[in-house]
Amino acid sequence: MSGTHRAIAAIKKQLGPKLCIMGHHYQNDAVVRHCDIVGDSLELARRVPDVDAAHIVFCGVYFMGESAALLTRPGQGVHLPDPDADCIMSRMSPAPLARKVLEQLSATGRKVLPLAYVNTTVALKAVVGEYGGAVCTSANAATMLRWALEQSDSVLFLPDKNLGENTANALGLDKSQRHVLRLCSRGLQDPAAPEQARKLLLWPGCCAIHARFKPQDVARMRAAHPGCRIIAHPECRQEVINACDGAGSTSFLIQEAARVAAATPSTPLVIGTENNLVHRLAKRHPDCRILSLGQALCPDMAKVTEEKLLQQLERIVNATAVPLEVPPALLAPARLSLTRMLDACARLP
């Protein structure tokens, strides 16, 4: 056990129930081993309201800390080991541009409901909340897209085009009812384009990590490991998902690894997602050969280290820690976009 590990363990013991360390599955093992709660975006969002600790240390990228801060109660503070751990995708849908696009789409008299992936800034979530929309995660994207389609003329899904397309495929929404928006600094390149009357309007963003996977990677792994099963995260491009044997959220990938390891451990399992999770699953199921579809390490997730976690905990103990603050004007509408998701998922299958 390293000195850093022992120091963190000592502070956790000192603070006791006043502290809760939460972490995303894409964190490295050195960080995850200290977390009290580990999950994907949906699981972590669900768990925050039930946390009683005064100090929540969130090991993940910035937007995840913001989401946690939206769901805390008075007297609780959310702390980030590294506030510079950002998400490229979350910056692909700037709130001012999204507002302009929604204004242009709504000017036609049609009801356009925004559905934002949780991988977005609090400012974007606030715009979504103002326009009656909600957020979603990869685990509940199908449920939330059905929810949005049922109460609107069109749904604006942002910012992940790949997740939107793959979810639409899963729901059986015809491609003729989808359109990828063409954007410029003024909003829509052509506000009068007839394609913008379609049921599903997709923002042209993506996860730079999952977008690295290509159909050739699937073909390469099938050739190298005959009989393997290949699954991937729906942030991957459509052509990749179509070539796989299954696709789903981080939780799905974890559950599928456990299922394959228990039922057919001789079957090689190839997983297309962030490599930290794949490596952890390979360690968890040593009797099953679990492989990554390719190199995919998130540099922002990697900014959170065991040493930075210790430094943040020391600041909490020394009363010098500054909790993450959500601008007051954004708090209510952004929280609404999250609570709409949690409420809808509690009611719908």
Which of the four pLDDT bands, split at 50, 70 and 90, describes residue 50? very high
Which of the four pLDDT bands, split at 50, 70 and 90, describes residue 126? very high
Residues 144 and 134: beta-carbon distance below 8 Å: yes
Of the two residues 124 and 43, the one the predictor is more confident about is 124
Residue 40's pLDDT is 86
For residues 202-219, give the mean pLDDT.
97
Preceding omega of 159 cis (within 30 degrees of 0): yes
Residues 193 and 187: beta-carbon distance below 8 Å: no
Q: What is the DSSP letter of 198?
A: S
Residue 56's pLDDT is 97
- What is the C-alpha to C-alpha distance for residues 128 and 215, in angstroms, rounded to an integer? 33
Residue 349 in this model has a pLDDT that exceeds 80: no
For residues 203-219, give the mean pLDDT.
97
Residue 36's pLDDT is 97
Residue 348's pLDDT is 75
Which of the four pLDDT bands, split at 50, 70 and 90, describes residue 84? very high
Which of the four pLDDT bands, split at 50, 70 and 90, describes residue 91? very high
Closest by CA position to 201, among listed 153, 135, 129? 153
For residues 275-280, give the mean pLDDT.
95
- What is the C-alpha to C-alpha distance for residues 78 and 81, in angstroms, rounded to an integer? 10
Rounded to two decimals, the pTM is: 0.92
Residue 113's pLDDT is 98
Residue 41's pLDDT is 80
For residues 246-260, give the mean pLDDT.
96
Which of the four pLDDT bands, split at 50, 70 and 90, describes residue 227? very high
For residues 256-263, give the mean pLDDT.
97
Integer CA distances (angstroms), 266 to 218, 226, 273, in order: 19, 11, 21
Residues 287-301 have pLDDT tens digits of 999 999 999 999 999
Residues 320-332 have pLDDT tens digits of 999 999 999 999 9
Residues 136-177 have pLDDT tens digits of 999 999 999 999 999 999 999 999 999 999 999 999 999 999
Residue 236's pLDDT is 98
Residue 2's pLDDT is 86
Containing 184, the helix (H) or strand (E) segment is strand 183-184
- As a residue count, the chain comes to 349
Which of the four pLDDT bands, split at 50, 70 and 90, describes residue 43? confident
Containing 4, the helix (H) or strand (E) segment is helix 3-15
Count CB neighbours of 169 within 10 A.
Answer: 16
The residue behind tokens 């922002």 is 300
Residue 46's pLDDT is 85
- What is the C-alpha to C-alpha distance for residues 76 and 316, in angstroms, rounded to an integer? 12
Residue 4 in this model has a pLDDT that exceeds 90: yes
Tokens found for residue 71: 């769901």
Rounded to a whole number of angstroms, the distance between the first and last alpha carbons of the chain is 45
* All structural domains of the chain: 3-86+301-318 (3.40.50.10800), 89-206+332-347 (3.40.50.10800), 210-292 (3.40.50.10800)
Strand 229-232 relative to strand 200-202: parallel, antiparallel, unpaired? unpaired
Mean pLDDT of the chain: 95
For residues 216-220, give the mean pLDDT.
98
Strand 183-184 relative to strand 187-188: parallel, antiparallel, unpaired? antiparallel
Residues 12-38 have pLDDT tens digits of 999 999 999 999 999 999 999 999 999
